Amino acid sequence: MIVLDRHDALDLETYRRIVEGGERIEPAPEALAYVDARRHGMLEALEAGQPLYGVTTGLGYLASQPIAEQDRAALQRSILLGRAVAVGPPLPEVVVRGALLLRLTGFLEGGAGVSSALCLFLADRLNDRFVPCVPAGPHGAAGEVSQLAHLFAAFVGEGSVLESGGPVPALDALAARGAAPYEPQLKEGIALVNGAPFAAALTAPLLWRARDLLEHATLAAALSAAVTGASARPYSARIGQLKGDPAQVRVHARLLELLGPSFGDRSQAPVSTRVAPQVLGAVGGVLADAEAQLARELAAVTDSPLHLPEAGDEPAGFYPSGNFHAQALAFALDSVAIACTQLGNLSEKRLHRLLDARFSGLPEQLAVDPGRQTGLTVLHKSVVGLCAENRLLAAPASIAAWDTSAGQEDVEAFTPLGAAKLGRLLDNLELILAYELAALAQARRLAKTPPPPNLAPATDALAAVMPIVEDDRPLAPDVERVRELVRSGTLV
């Protein structure tokens, strides 16, 4: 059981244990008492006549329209229903659970003005694996209003929930858990749909996956150097130290760990072989920066408006916030997309040289009998197509800005769009690496020397799913089996 006693208690490891590992959570009693105390202050401000967006007024362009007192409670439920306009396949469970968790931890800061009852309802739904069906897109709002509306409409018994047998009505899913639909109180409807929990929840699994693919790209670089007899001198730790980039130094160490002391004075390998530490290290640096920003976002409060107490010269009252605008994560996602596109480009170049006897020293096109056999050149053609698509997907999403809500909402971060593009790009990168590793499995059999000891487990695993190509055959099943190895993490 993980006890949440502060809004900023989550680190990356704890977050993953909850949303992916399913560890149970419990808001600390003192945290819940603090939430109720802050809510009491917010209600007092409302009773004193202070206007509050989304409670005493309409939303967006209609923020100047007053809401009659007798209609304010009903508005909170209406907010959840009238903005659920997303379509498409549902977001993965790990993303939905992440958004639920981040709404809960953000509420524990108190500024959103929600009740402890809502916090407990959120915690219970995380613990009983209540996963609302949230369509993946489209994305055009300032913030995440549409996706959050789908997420929390399920709390009031509307929409559907993902169960093991498929989607079921949210009302039935609540009943199966012994829970009644939640009735949002004043300020709680607007609090549920204003914020940016999906930005971090979408980003986290993408960064986990990108980190795994970087490890596979490092393995492929080492195996390519080994089967072509390239010298390990470009990977010398001294070369890394001369550059002084910590991420690059780590790649030098990993490549040398895999290759062993193969410092023969051979002719220069192609640039794509020699610059592996520089490219892989740079990608690792981009990922580290993105992970650092993600860690900050896990502790962030992204609600708007917030009720803040008096502090210095600033009075107590309702403060509009722009923290729902997840610009930093949008930039991070675009940066990771560019970096991972270059990982694919490097893999494509290595594969092309591997198929060319002038560079590899192996039979042309890795054919056992070149001429009678086509060999594996067709794999490279598929990789070229994937790299071309990734260059399109690497175009940044974060530079767009459009007016909506009659001009009231005039800029968007487009973080969900950046995440969707990166997800497709990583799918392609996974397949690019699978194609290269399939070719490397063939090259290993054609090479005259055995692989270094630390590469043997990976080459053995590849050999088990990729029989030698002695005669032309459909290679798609082989590539799929190699891709499953990449997905499973078996190779690294």
Give the residue from 96, 40, 56 showing the smallest Cα distance to 305: 56
Concatenate the DSSP letters of all residues of 363-397 into one string: -GGG-SSBTTB-TTHHHHHHHHHHHHHHHHHTS-S
**What local confidence, expressed as pLDDT, does residue 407 receive?**
61
What is the H or E stretch that residue 337 is in? Answer: helix 327-354
Contact 101/27 with Cβ under 8 angstroms?
no
Q: In 192-324, which ranges are E strands?
A: 306-308, 317-319
CB 122 within 8 A of CB 18: no
pLDDT in tens, 153-169: 999 999 999 998 789 99
Q: What is the pLDDT of residue 405?
A: 65
What is the pLDDT, as a whole number, of residue 148? Answer: 94
Which tens digits make up the pLDDT trace of 390-407? Answer: 999 999 988 877 667 656
Question: Which residues have a Cβ under 8 Å from the Cβ of 141 and sit 6 or more positions away?
Answer: 404, 409, 412
| Mean pLDDT (10-residue bins), the chain, 492 residues | 95 97 97 98 93 86 84 89 86 97 97 97 98 87 85 96 92 97 95 94 98 98 94 93 95 95 75 95 98 97 93 93 90 98 98 93 92 91 98 91 65 86 98 98 92 94 95 95 96 93
Supply 18's token pair.
Answer: 């909850």
Query: Which pLDDT belongs to residue 409?
Result: 67
pLDDT of residue 453: 94
Q: Is the pTM of this model over 0.85?
A: yes
Query: In the chain, what are the domains?
Result: 2-194 (1.10.275.10), 202-488 (1.20.200.10)
Residue 449 has a pLDDT of: 86
Alpha carbons within 13 angstroms on the beta-carbon side of residue 291 total 17
3-state secondary structure (DSSP) of residue 85: coil
Alpha-carbon distances of 37 from 4, 46, 257, 269, rounded to whole Å: 17, 15, 56, 67
Q: What is the pLDDT of residue 189?
A: 94
